[in-house]
Structure formats: C-alpha cells, structure tokens
Chain A
C-alpha cells in the first residue's frame, strides 16, 4: 500500500476543456460521458453488484470509484458496443455480463451468505481471486468459464471504462485530449505548460 498523495496535485485535465487542446466533438463526447450516472441496461440489483466490482477493480484512496465507471460499462452494454471478437466459450457481451453477475452473486451466497455488494472488502477480494484462478464452483456459471469471464469481461470492461475518464487521466498525469493543439516538447523531462506537473518526493 502506497500512502503518498497524488502524483500530479492540482492537475485537472478538464481545465483544458475550453482551450485549443479540445475540439468540438471531443467536448461533446466527454461532456456526455460525465453526465452518465445510472443504469439503463443493468437492473438495479445488477447495478449494485457492478458498482461494488468497480470499487474492487479500480479502488480509490478514499470513497467509491466514480459512478461514471460503472455507468460507462452500462452504456457500452446499452448500445451494445462490442470489442470485435469473443472467445468461443463466452456468449455475447450482454448475456455474458448478465449471467456473470448472477453467477457471482450466487457464488457469494453459497460461500458467504450474501450478495457481492454485501460482503466485506476481504471477502470480495477473496472471491475475485477465486474467479481469477478458475476456482469458482457455483453451478450458476453453467457452461461459461468464470476465469474467462473475469479476464475478458469483468476486469477488461471495468478498467477500459475507468481509464476513459478524466478522473483517471488526472491520476496518471496523462495530457488528455489534444486536438488541434498537440505538443511541442517531446524530449526527456520536458513538458509543455499545458501538461501535468509531477510532484517529486
């Protein structure tokens, strides 16, 4: 566990929204992303599970993962924006997520007597490691391998959603949108004035 504060204190990529770093369509799509706040595809019960999963996959130093993380996964399902392939062992993404969340909660009830979002942090962590290692045992998984679901859907979709958020770009010191203005200084330890300043120990 790392107790240091943010690497890029005071950096907010959204401060560049009205500068030449953001073109019109970029403003439109990011503005829209930040308005997402609730489920349109998932049921309320599934949403509780998904939000708890986000808190485990992209845990925050304080508080919950931004609601837009779960909401962007939901949005991907609502519009059925696919990746371009799926393994033969998984159904299409909507069905995989529905069945996956149901099976996770079933697995939790069998092992700990409650749904995923009701478990302690330690229980949630153990449960996820079990999925990752392919040791899920609930019959609720049917013919869908929990290990493949964990890797291809659960972790993949949540991380891809989180790192599509300005919140995550601030943590990383990523420059964010850069059109039409890109960058001038490309060399080691050089930065333009519109890039994040790193806090050195």
Chain B
C-alpha cells in the first residue's frame, strides 16, 4: 500500500484537506484541538451532515465534521469499473432480516466523505406539497411539522447549489422556477419511457438531475459515461463532496476522514459534552457545545443506541422508545423488456427521463401514496445481480439473456413505503472492527406497499409494451434509499426530534439526515434531506440569535 492510500491514512489533517477538483491538490483547512469546545460536531458528511456543515460554518459557527469514510479525489481515485468502486459503499457487516429483508450497501449506504451522495443516481425531485401533511390532506401516514411553502424555498437553494439540469417547465405540482442548467439530451432508454407515456396519454419529462449540462468552474459537463452510481470520475456529478464540503472548508469547518464515532457522551446534567471517535488507531474525544448526528437511517439510530449510559439506559434521545423504529425504504421494482432497436443503456446517467403521474394523480388507485418511475441503465455487474436475483437465471439461460443487454430497456419505480413501527434498526451482539455492536435491521412491506407495487408493475408493463418491448418481466423484491428511525414531529411522545431537528430529550443533540423523515414520499430523498439541512441551519441560526442554542 502506498502512503497516499485514502482508505488507510487520513488525508484531511495538518491544516489541509484534499482539493477534490484537482489531481493531487490540497486546500487549506482550519483545525481544532480535541479539547477545544467547538460549537458543533457533526457526525457524517453526506446530504444531511455535509450540507449542514457548510451552512453552519458559513453562519460563523465553529464546526468539526467526522466521517468514517475516506476522502477521495474523484479524478484520480475513481476507476471506471463497478467492481473497484464497491469501495464507495457501506460494506461493513449488517444483519438484515424480516419478511422483505433489505439488501443494504450498494443502493442505500455509502462510506465516503460526502456520504452516499458520492454514488447517488443524481435524481433530484421535490416532494409533492401535500405529502408534508399526508394525514390531514390525503388520509394516510403522519403530518410533517413543517410547511411545504417553507420547504419550497429551501428546495430552490439546493437546486441552485447543485446547478441542477432540468426542464424549463416541470409538468407536476405548483409552479417553480426553471432549473439552473438546461436539460440533458435523452438517451434511447429515456426515449423508451417517453414513448410509453405518450402512448398511454400521461405526462413525462426530462429528469431534474445533478450532473452538469454546461461547465461550472473546474468541472466539465457530463460526458455520459454512465458509471454514475459507481462514482463520478469527472466531477460532473454535483454532490456534497464537490459542492457543500468545499464551501464548508472555505468557511472554516474542519472535516476529519476515517473518523468513526462510537459514542456520544452525556454529562451529569443530561447534556451532550462531545463524541468519542476512532481515528489513526486510537480512541479520542472531541468536546462540543452541540452534537449533530447525520449518519443516515441505520448509523444514526445505531450510534444513539450504542451511546446508552446510566442517564439514558435505552439509548440517547429515546424516551419515546422510537429510536430505530419506523424504518422506511422505497419500493424500487423494475420492469424490463427487450426491443428490436439497439438501446445501449450503459450510456449516460441511468435515469434521464421520468414520470410523476402516479405521485400527483389520486384517481384510479387502490392504495395510499404514490410513485414515480424512471428510465434505467444498469451496468453489467448490477444487471447480473438483477438477472440472478429477481429473474432467477443462472447457467446457459443467464449468459444468453445477458447477451441481449444492448436491447433491453426498463422502467423502475421510486414508490412510497408506509412507515411501520415493526420495521426497525436494533443492535446485534456481533461487533464491528471498532468493537461496536453492529446493526440488526428488520423490514417487511405493508399491505399498502404491496398494492402499490402491483399497480406500478402492471402499469409499467403496459407502458413498455406500448413502447414496443417484448419478453417483459418484472422484479419482485427491490428497494432503494432509507428513511425514518428518528422521526420528526410535534409531540415528544410520538417523535424523536422536534421541528428544528433538535432531539426532545437532549437540548444540545440534533439529528439532520434521512432518519428524520416521518413519511417517505414517492421520490428520491436526497433533495429533501439537503433542503431540510438548510432549514435546520436557519433554525439553529435563529435560535442562536435568541441564546437558545
């Protein structure tokens, strides 16, 4: 191993951090001592923690952000290869059971500075406004303690930060400004979706997507390599690692890579005093006035539960008993068909077109909630996993069908899952490489989820047929994304954090990631996580101005 192996030796230290936009480059970084009481320690640097690190440091707070992942320079560290790029995923052991056990890692958990956004598919959609009050307005789930109009402003802030490429007019929901960058050219796989929608008489559009359609600073426009979920080696993808975090460093935040937080410590008064973290072979303690946990829907509850102490024997912020409960994923079933045309779906971002028809239409449904569906472009290793898993092929039949790769196209949903208390993250007896109990995850679909999935598969099958597809088959089990486990609410008995992201139990302990979501919506969560982080930053700023932080 070379000295500059970012998986073994931290890069962000001694007053500098990697410049992600230059090969071998560095940028200056302010550094804090462990015994210096910083305003905020933020655990995790993805869509939640990365965004919040930027916003709070720009507001003048002192920030140390810790992440267990390596600090990559995409231009030199990212191969154009699925197998090698498994290094971006959270591959430490987790046990996953239940009737519809989640497949964790690849499409829902990252381990990098920049979090799972480093391998996200860049689809950046706003929630349908009614979803923030789904109980009151649509009759299912629970209400969020936030107003959609407030979120609408924060969505815009994130869309501008990511220079989203998207259509001039978005066909669904209340009016919104045009997207900052022009839409991308559609690949054949995206045109298959469009054909199907037009045949069936529903709207479709070019996906609002976080990859550049024009230059931005040192980053070039997307070159349509198609390796997006294996990490973008050209920096066309706009995500936490190359947008929020460089801004955070510039504003004086310190980011510590390869730093695993094992325990948040409470003092005798029930307030957080800092975090115990493992870096460079030893356990250390960082003092802080506030701690924000932003590890996503498995690592966040895991850390809170692993931080149990005499003052909080069931884990931190857990007086409601809800830490680790109401875990959600998105239904993510795909329907695939073969076409006479060459599709060559490996080219360009996988989901360049979509329809939110079934998110915004309430008629003709026998289920609550909604779903979007998008065009697809799996690369060979991922596609072989679908073929051997859901399609149950191996041997001769596998190889022959894999040879039809360039003639396949597919449609895949992001479908709303109902939150169920019985879907949980708990601690296992088994320990990880740091000696910390690993997560034991249990998941099953609700009856409503199953109706949604059946509706979607049926509709997409019709759409693919209408577009000219044949030999059509559908995935039974597939999920994407994670949400819930530390839900936000108005009532300390039925939620873990208040509308500001502050835990009800511990006044200087906050949560800022997808684990806040009380409901999942039928769109990819990253845009909402970032928008919520911007909102929490503004709440913290306002509270600090009143000496309430």
Q: Which residues of A contact B (CB under 8 A)?
A: 1-2, 7, 21-26, 28-30, 33, 56-59, 72, 81-88, 92, 125, 128, 151, 155-156, 159-160, 162-164, 168-169, 171-184, 186-191, 195-196, 198
Contacts and interface: CB of A to CB of B under 8 A. Distances in A.
Contact of A87 (B97, B185, B188): B97
Contacts of B84: 25-26, 29
A87 B96 contact: yes
30 contacts: A1-B396, A22-B80, A26-B80, A28-B79, A56-B394, A58-B399, A81-B86, A82-B92, A83-B106, A84-B94, A84-B103, A84-B106, A85-B105, A92-B93, A125-B395, A159-B387, A159-B398, A164-B381, A173-B344, A174-B380, A175-B226, A175-B347, A179-B78, A180-B223, A182-B222, A182-B224, A182-B348, A186-B185, A188-B342, A191-B344
**Which 6 residue pairs of A and B lie closest in terms of their CB atoms, listed nearest first?**
A84-B105, A182-B223, A177-B80, A85-B104, A182-B225, A164-B83
Contact of A172 (B92, B347, B406): B406
B444 interface: no
Contacts of A173: 344, 403, 405-406
Contacts of B158: none
Contacts of B185: 186
B95 interface: yes
A39 to B, nearest CB: 18
A85 B234 contact: no
Interface string B326-345: 00000000000000011110
Given A7-B403, A59-B395, A181-B223, A86 B188 contact: no
A83 B384 contact: no
Interface in B375-426: 379-381, 383-385, 387-389, 394-396, 398-400, 402-403, 405-406
Contact of A59 (B94, B226, B342, B396): B396
B104 A178 contact: no
Nearest to A196: B406
A156 B388 CA distance: 7
Contacts of A23: 79-80, 233
B225 A159 contact: no
A92 B428 CA distance: 14
A75 to B, nearest CB: 10
B342 A191 contact: yes
B90 A172 contact: no
Nearest to A28: B79
B101 interface: yes
A59 B399 CA distance: 8
Contacts of A84: 89-92, 94, 103-106, 109
B76 interface: yes
B441 interface: yes
Nearest to B223: A182
Contacts of A178: 80, 223, 225-227
Contacts of B400: 2
Nearest to A182: B223
Contacts of A196: 406
B384 A162 contact: yes
A110 to B, nearest CB: 23
A61 to B, nearest CB: 9
Contacts of B406: 172-174, 196, 198
Contacts of A155: 388, 394
Given A183-B224, A191-B344, 4 more contacts: A164-B81, A178-B227, A179-B80, A188-B341
B16 interface: no
B168 to A, nearest CB: 20
B380 to A, nearest CB: 4
A187 B191 contact: yes
Q: Which of B76, B106, B225, B343 has the most CB of A within 10 A?
A: B225
Nearest to B191: A188
A169 B93 CA distance: 30
Interface in B317-374: 341-344, 346-348
A183 B399 contact: no
A84 B439 CA distance: 11
A82 B109 CA distance: 13
A156 B344 contact: no
A128 B394 CA distance: 10
Nearest to A6: B403
Nearest to A24: B76
B286 interface: no
B234 A163 contact: no
B102 interface: yes
Contacts of A188: 188, 191, 341-343
B186 interface: yes
B342 to A, nearest CB: 5
Contacts of A174: 346, 379-380, 405-406
Contacts of B389: 151, 156
B51 interface: no
B118 to A, nearest CB: 15
B90 A182 contact: no
B395 A57 contact: yes
Contacts of A58: 395, 398-399
A66 to B, nearest CB: 13
Contact of A186 (B76, B348, B388): B348
B160 interface: no
A83 B342 contact: no
A187 B402 contact: no
Contacts of A180: 223, 233-234
Nearest to B110: A84
A87 B93 contact: no
A191 B383 CA distance: 21
B77 interface: yes
A182 B105 CA distance: 26
A25 B224 CA distance: 19
A178 B86 CA distance: 17
B386 to A, nearest CB: 10
B98 to A, nearest CB: 9
Contacts of B383: 163
B546 to A, nearest CB: 43
A149 to B, nearest CB: 14
A177 B95 contact: no
Contacts of A195: 344
Contact of A85 (B95, B222, B379, B396): B95
B403 A83 contact: no
